[in-house]
Amino acid sequence: MAEEARYRIGEVAAAAGVSTRTLRYYEELGLVSPSGYSPGGARRYSDTDRARVLRIRELQELVGFNLDEIKTIVAAENRLDELRTEFAVISNVEAGRSPQREQELVAEAIEINDRLREEMKAKLSRLETFLADLDARAALYRRRAKQAKR
């Protein structure tokens, strides 16, 4: 049961806060492609596609990765998603065909995920320190403001 691809490129772009050009650029780089097309050849995105775009933006904006690093991450996730879809289509027993491939992909996903988590933890603690410094600075400034007022 293929998920229906109903969003137009402009809708997904608006939802993600980017331009349509950006989505075509992501596609060019192999980051996300629409899972369908209209009869006339216009891109149609599914909910999964849309979610992937949002994830890319999160990795880019919040985490600060470049599109190349992001590609590594989402590529692994996408391969895993595809495998899951396959499993859903052909029967579970029939799917037993490639248990090794699944193990490989899951192992890969775990590795990438773990690396990412470590980086995020590190970044988080650095950010906490940074915020604490800001708070200290804030207190300092306010003392100085009081001092200056007299």
Partner DNA sequence: TTCAAAGTTAACGTTGACGTTAGCTTTCTA
Partner DNA sequence: TAGAAAGCTAACGTCAACGTTAACTTTGAA
User: Which residues contact DNA by CB under 7 A?
Assistant: 8-11, 18-22, 24-25, 38-43, 60, 66-68
In the chain, beta strands by DSSP E: 7-8, 36-37, 43-45
Number of residues engaging a second copy in binding (CB under 8 A): 35
15 CB-contact burial (10 Å; exposed 0-12 / middle 13-18 / buried 19+): middle
Name which of a second copy, DNA, none residue 18 binds, using a CB cut-off of 5 to 8 Å depending on partner kind.
DNA
Rg of the chain's alpha carbons, rounded to an integer?
22
21/101 with CB nearer a second copy: 101
CB 52 within 8 Å of CB 12: no
Collapsed DSSP state (helix, strand, coil) of residue 31: coil
CB of 106 to a second copy, least distance (A): 5
In angstroms, the CA 31 to CA 24 distance is: 10
- Minimum CB distance to a second copy, residue 124 (Å): 5
Task: Examine residue 130 and tell whether it contacts a second copy (CB under 8 A).
Answer: yes
**Degrees to nearest 5, angle at CA 51 with 48 and 54:** 155
Asked if 90 is part of the footprint of a second copy (rule: CB under 8 A), the reply reads no
Site string for a second copy, 36-75 (x = CB under 8 A): ----------------------x--xxxx-----------
Instruction: Report the C-alpha gap between 2 and 92 in whole angstroms.
Output: 17
Give me the residues that bind a second copy (CB under 8 A), please: 58, 61-64, 99, 102-103, 106-107, 109-110, 113-114, 116-117, 120-121, 123-124, 126-128, 130-131, 134-135, 137-138, 141-142, 144-145, 148-149
